[in-house]
Copies of this chain bind each other. A is one copy, B any other.
């Protein structure tokens, strides 16, 4: 072992410890902390963040990476060691380019912007929000200028969430998706059904018990994981053996069952990372889209499938007698998979969700390029929304103001949600080809072989490779929209025809 490699690993472990501590502080803040704690918690998190950043962007880390260039060449490309040096070099070169002042300004603007956005959304007042958006855009343009070598400015933003992905690639994928989905949704979106029972009541305790019942079958286990309550569900972790899922319950809807499966998908990915990568920067899922592919796979491909419900429906119906006593499985399945255009992205069904994303992806590029005047943004939002989804937007609260992302300058994140959908089916086709009896296993309530396959092929790799290399290793090719379009057409077509 190269002595400088030990030094690098020790330094990165220290930085990683600070990052993991931050993750637990964030979890604690949103799940456990008494409200009074907020007055100082922000400082604790900011301090950890600043120290971790300073330690990482230091010249010392650069010198270590330089000294290890020769050693890296001698190593097997697939070794943990080579991967650590390679990935760290990429992270370091990127992190070095952003001046501390700009990073601090972006953080400050995000914090201020959040509160103004919340007020603007509550009051349906886009003009109140517009200065926040203007500042966020200006800061993001300065951020983009820190980098070079990209084909177009939006590439630099996308790269933060999906390293190596190009805007042009996403454009092709989304254009293919849009061309297929707009007519498909116009068609199946008109199929009506009696879904009144979905209003519940769904007793909260039964929701919690049933959420646990399902995710335990997926592999969730209290020896390495928790499930708690929060306002906006997420998954955090402090290592592969400490996974924190969060969810929420409302008496009047049953979305929590799929929220639990979704967050469990994220959690299983983090849990499955090879323990040899623990306390290194490789100990995480590789990108937002790959992560989302796993939350979506467990939530949608598994959790909205017929084999899954063939197994679970009898006990599910028994767990919610008031809501489901008179509802047969077919009626539940159809309601669960109903395609119906609606205004709010996070409430959208599996198919229309992508059109919400495509709209944001297009607008983000134009906002960044300045080809759209921010004064006209609501109008442009509403025009395209109706074009893609077929319904008029009744207010900015239900339109351009609905999402938190832009208030914090988070441009470039939205597309990864739909990229995750696309990738999820590519991976599903691959695993199904190798394990054709998975649907039969689901009918029996068994999911262990699926988890094992995903762990071995995908989860265990962590951040050893780029997202593109990772996907290539899992499915044998690059990202493509075909499988996902086929999946939606088959599933929704069958529902519309029946």
Give the complex CA separation of A468 and B17 in angstroms: 39
Given contacts A24-B25, A37-B242, A48-B17, contact A43 B224 (CB under 8 A): no
How far in angstroms is the closest Cβ of chain B from A21? 5
> Is the C-beta of A63 less than 8 angstroms from some C-beta in chain B?
no
Q: Which residues does chain B contribute within 8 Å of A48, judged by CB atoms? A: 17-18, 21
Does A21 lie within 8 Å of B25, measured CB to CB? yes
Does B41 lie within 8 Å of A242, measured CB to CB? yes
When each residue 31-43 of chain A gets 1 if its CB lies under 8 Å from chain B and 0 otherwise, what string results?
0111111011101
Does B242 lie within 8 Å of A36, measured CB to CB? yes
Cross-chain contact of A238 among B40, B240, B242 (Cβ < 8 A):
B40
Give the complex CA separation of A21 and B18 in angstroms: 10
Interface size on A, residues (CB 8 A): 37
> Is the C-beta of A225 less than 8 angstroms from some C-beta in chain B?
yes
Does B32 lie within 8 Å of A20, measured CB to CB? no
Does A20 lie within 8 Å of B35, measured CB to CB? no
Does B44 lie within 8 Å of A21, measured CB to CB? yes
> Is the C-beta of A440 less than 8 angstroms from some C-beta in chain B?
no
Q: Which residues does chain B contribute within 8 Å of A13, judged by CB atoms? A: 43, 47
How far in angstroms is the closest Cβ of chain B from A124? 31
Give the complex CA separation of A34 and B32 in angstroms: 15
Given contacts A25-B24, A241-B39, contact A17 B34 (CB under 8 A): no
Interface residues of A in 451-476 (CB under 8 A from B): none
Q: Which of A21, A28, A37, A225 has the most CB of B within 10 A?
A: A37
Does B44 lie within 8 Å of A17, measured CB to CB? yes
How far in angstroms is the closest Cβ of chain B from A48? 6
Cross-chain contact of A278 among B20, B32, B40, B279 (Cβ < 8 A):
B40
Does B279 lie within 8 Å of A33, measured CB to CB? no
Q: Which of A14, A28, A225, A242 has the most CB of B within 10 A?
A: A242
Does A278 lie within 8 Å of B25, measured CB to CB? no
Cross-chain contact of A40 among B20, B32, B37 (Cβ < 8 A):
B20
How far in angstroms is the closest Cβ of chain B from A107? 15
Q: Which residues does chain B contribute within 8 Å of A225, judged by CB atoms? A: 34
> Is the C-beta of A405 less than 8 angstroms from some C-beta in chain B?
no
Q: Which residues does chain B contribute within 8 Å of A14, judged by CB atoms? A: 47, 51
Q: Which residues does chain B contribute within 8 Å of A315, judged by CB atoms? A: none
Give the complex CA separation of A187 and B279 in angstroms: 60
Does A35 lie within 8 Å of B223, measured CB to CB? yes
> Is the C-beta of A138 less than 8 angstroms from some C-beta in chain B?
no
> Is the C-beta of A243 less than 8 angstroms from some C-beta in chain B?
yes
15 more A-B contacts (CB under 8 A) besides A18-B51, A32-B32, A35-B224? Answer: A14-B47, A18-B47, A18-B48, A20-B40, A21-B25, A21-B48, A24-B28, A34-B224, A34-B241, A36-B242, A37-B241, A39-B278, A41-B239, A44-B238, A51-B51
Interface residues of A, Cβ cutoff 8 Å to B: 13-14, 17-18, 20-21, 24-25, 28, 32-37, 39-41, 43-44, 46-48, 51, 222-226, 238-243, 278-279
Q: Can you give 8 contacting A-B residue pairs, CB < 8 Å?
A: A21-B48, A24-B24, A33-B238, A34-B225, A34-B241, A41-B238, A41-B239, A51-B51
